[in-house]
Structure 1
């Protein structure tokens, strides 16, 4: 049994995680601990506070008691808002506090794109435009070419959590670009896990979503590979041999 610790901000789309446990169909557990988000706002100052070391550290002991082998801060905006170097500092502090390998959803997107050998990506975000632009900047620093960025202007995670398949599909289509090799949908507050096959079929390319890549990243940290076609191209791709 492999336990992968998830630090999740607030309560919006956390039910994506037990669904992923079922879809992984193996000996994977995803113990999830909620962090206190403070003010629910996709605004830079609120996001910096949401991802602060003190807020993340508060949930670490519970994850350690769960037997977690790795921990992922399952929040895109609360990690990329710190910038490339600041996001590295954030996960280093998390790893020191937890005594475990650690990462965040923002890095998960970058690593997942590399796994799929894609370089040109489109961003389809629920965020306001300025916050979506910060995510695009983070991806650029990760070595990806962001060919388009769209933001839906949603300010709160609570509102994003109410969206269903029709809204998510519309978001993905709006954010897609002919030159993009994959579409990235940030925001762990958005329910996406049930919709990934439909999204990829509709767009004809890999679609990476926040909760999906967070779990993939936790598996990567624990050196586990699981084939799960219902979780999209990311979970069916053969491992890339590093040379």
Structure 2
């Protein structure tokens, strides 16, 4: 059994991960450590503070007790605001602290698109417009083309965590675009791991959610990703490990 450790900021949808672990009947372990939060705000200055190295280092120290095989910084906005290089530096710092491979949700989105061979995407963002545009730039730097973006101006992760399934489906449908090959839902504060198949059924194309790609990338760091049911197109077929030909 593999263990993917998760560094998760604050409290909103962290229960998505133990719920998935239970549904998979222990096939993988997903221990969560809550990292410290200064201000719960989808605002660039607050997000730069949220993802600073000291907070991640403290979380990594606590996570070490779970003996993870890989670690994910399970936060999208607290990684993409640093840009691609900054996000890679975050992951490198966590990897060095724990001696295991590490990545983040933002990097996972880029890698998941490449694994699926998808380039043109729509974004269903809970964030305010200015924060969402940071994610658009991050994706663009990773080779994606964002053909449509919907932002919903939700300031706090706590509020995002209260969204009902119908609201999430409505956000995804509103953001979709005829030219988009997939729709991305970039907020780990949103409960999505139990509804990925519903989201895909609503628009008839792949949907990548933050918590979904976080788990996928954690497994991808360790080898070919196993096919898992009810987690959407991304988990429908095994993906090659980093450095392997897909």
TM over 0.5, shorter chain? yes
CA shift, 1:168, in A, is 0.2
Taking structure 1 as the reference length, the TM-score comes to: 0.96
CA shift, 1:23, in A, is 3.6
Question: For 1:74-89, what aligned pairs fall within 5 Å after superposition?
Answer: 74-89=74-89
Query: 2:225·2:238 contact (CA, 8 Å) conserved in 1?
Result: no
Is 1:64 the counterpart of 2:64? The answer is yes
Query: 2:124·2:175 contact (CA, 8 Å) conserved in 1?
Result: yes
Question: For 1:102-113, what aligned pairs fall within 5 Å after superposition?
Answer: 102-113=102-113
What does residue 42 of structure 1 align with?
A: 42
The alignment partner of 1:143 has SS state of: coil
Is 1:242 the counterpart of 2:227? The answer is no
Deviations 1:207-241 (A, max 9, x none): 00001110001001121522212011111134356
Q: 2-side partners of 1:122 and 1:22: how far apart?
A: 31
What does residue 12 of structure 1 align with?
A: 12
The alignment partner of 2:194 has SS state of: helix
Q: 2-side partners of 1:224 and 1:69: how far apart?
A: 14
Q: 1-side partners of 2:167 and 2:116: how far apart?
A: 26
What does residue 207 of structure 1 align with?
A: 207
Q: 2-side partners of 1:88 and 1:22: how far apart?
A: 31
Query: 1:128·1:151 contact (CA, 8 Å) conserved in 2?
Result: yes
Query: 1:23·1:228 contact (CA, 8 Å) conserved in 2?
Result: no
What does residue 158 of structure 1 align with?
A: 158
Q: 2-side partners of 1:234 and 1:25: how far apart?
A: 20
Query: 1:23·1:230 contact (CA, 8 Å) conserved in 2?
Result: no
CA RMSD for the aligned pairs? 1.3
Q: 1-side partners of 2:25 and 2:108: how far apart?
A: 21
What does residue 126 of structure 1 align with?
A: 126
Deviations 1:26-63 (A, max 9, x none): 53100110001110000000000000000011111222
What does residue 184 of structure 1 align with?
A: 184
CA shift, 1:194, in A, is 1.5
Query: 2:74·2:104 contact (CA, 8 Å) conserved in 1?
Result: yes
Query: 2:226·2:237 contact (CA, 8 Å) conserved in 1?
Result: no
What does residue 140 of structure 2 align with?
A: 140
Alignment size in residue pairs: 243
Query: 2:105·2:214 contact (CA, 8 Å) conserved in 1?
Result: yes
Find runs of 4+ consecutive structure 1 residues off by over 4 angstroms: none
CA shift, 1:25, in A, is 4.3
Deviations 1:147-202 (A, max 9, x none): 11110000100110010101100110111111000000001000111211111001
Structure 2: runs of 5+ lacking an equivalent: none
Q: 2-side partners of 1:16 and 1:175: how far apart?
A: 23
